[in-house]
Chain A
């Protein structure tokens, strides 16, 4: 039996009727057409499906769509504002932290969460902060560099 949900995604309110067993990641990708969030494993390990739910980075394959009624979600499509990339996105670009791009949306979300909690992370803290996101292309080397660079850029912006 379907349930009505109302959820704000990237600043836009959506209303839909969903079956209780519908996964949030499928809802976002298929019902809302937001295919930026990816499915890498569905087992809850790889983090390619990470989104921000009510301010917290979570794996959207581990949630049911019915659970987000009344919530606010940010997906990778919502990180850039008015065509301007988020400093984390810019940093990933500058530091070649993207190869195939499949893990990238989830990585950006995890980095976004990390830097809110810890604006000045050490390399070890960055690696721990990204431990829920698997990447098979980069060996994480440039991703870690990009997140650290984004952190200092963002701290610099605070100082202005």
Chain B
């Protein structure tokens, strides 16, 4: 379990990174936190010609509030998001979800950019970002572009990021008042890949009806999905048990989860229903308290 030999570069700014990616294209792999890439290199599942270590690109290390968004640089480590007082107060759902990634040692090193680009279908962050309607900034030789989180993941472990591009920032809109969030994760043992996860953000109107709800799930297919049918039922309504029940029934109609040795498609669907219910209830309580 030793990686095959490769050429190694550790650029110090984004331009250098992009130049290298332009040069090597598909033959290059970006190394950020390494928590996902290193096992692939060690098992020789991947043997790239060159590794571009971006850990010294300090431009990508920031968490700040700006223009109605919280902007997080691609190289921010999970533990920084977990312990960020800014995020804990303004976007608690992301701190909460990030605290479930792997284990403390993984979180000391893993980055938001790396995790998103790895695009494991049951990763913790994607459903949260989708529910929060986040946008992802990608830089390439032709400049920068912004993609909605929902459109960022296109297939199993595949994103819209091209071989000559690098993810530079995640931006999340600040949550309106009376918004509550919930994040649930189903795993066999702590630290295992999730079987299923769900992020729900719910905003209440003054009259306690639902102004807006976003529900996103991971582990339900090749990529994380928004559960539109459930959202449509709930939005504009006063939320009570029967409606939640109906939303969960309708919600699972949209998903065709896979079967693997961790869980069958049937089980994932059963728990998805339960999680939709529970996350709506939990987000509702949080919204009422906020």
Contacts and interface: CB of A to CB of B under 8 A. Distances in A.
Determine direct contact between A and B, CB below 8 Å. Answer: yes
Interface in B89-134: 102-106, 108-109
Contact of A66 (B8, B102, B103): B8
B203 interface: no
Nearest to A20: B8
Interface in B1-26: 1-8, 10
Interface string B21-64: 00000000001001100110111000000010101000000000
B191 interface: yes
Interface string A38-62: 0000111101001000001111011
Given A43-B42, A45-B191, A63-B34, A132 B6 contact: no
Contacts of B34: 62-64
B156 interface: no
Contacts of B106: 44, 59, 132
B5 A110 contact: no
B266 interface: no
B38 A61 contact: yes
Secondary structure at chain B's binding surface: helix, strand, loop or mixed?
A: loop
Contact of B104 (A20, A26, A128): A128
Interface residues of A, number: 32
B3 A62 contact: no
Nearest to A44: B39
Of the listed residues A23, A56, A62, the one surrounded by the most CB atoms of chain B closer than 10 A to its CB is A62
A66 B2 CA distance: 15
Give the interface size class of chain B: 20 to 34
Contacts of B41: 21
B44 to A, nearest CB: 11
A56 B109 contact: yes
B38 A19 contact: no
A111 to B, nearest CB: 11
A117 B82 CA distance: 12
A20 B105 contact: no
Interface string A60-90: 0111101100000000000000000000000
B5 A21 contact: yes
Interface string B186-229: 00001100000000000000000000000000000000000000
A58 B109 contact: yes
A62 B53 contact: no
Given A58-B108, A61-B42, A113-B108, 19 more contacts: A21-B5, A21-B6, A21-B41, A26-B2, A42-B42, A44-B38, A44-B39, A59-B105, A62-B34, A63-B38, A63-B109, A66-B53, A67-B10, A110-B105, A113-B105, A114-B104, A131-B103, A131-B191, A133-B103
10 contacts: A1-B7, A20-B6, A45-B191, A57-B104, A59-B109, A113-B105, A128-B104, A128-B190, A132-B102, A132-B104
Interface of A: 1, 3, 19-21, 23, 26, 42-45, 47, 50, 56-59, 61-64, 66-67, 110, 113-114, 117, 128-129, 131-133
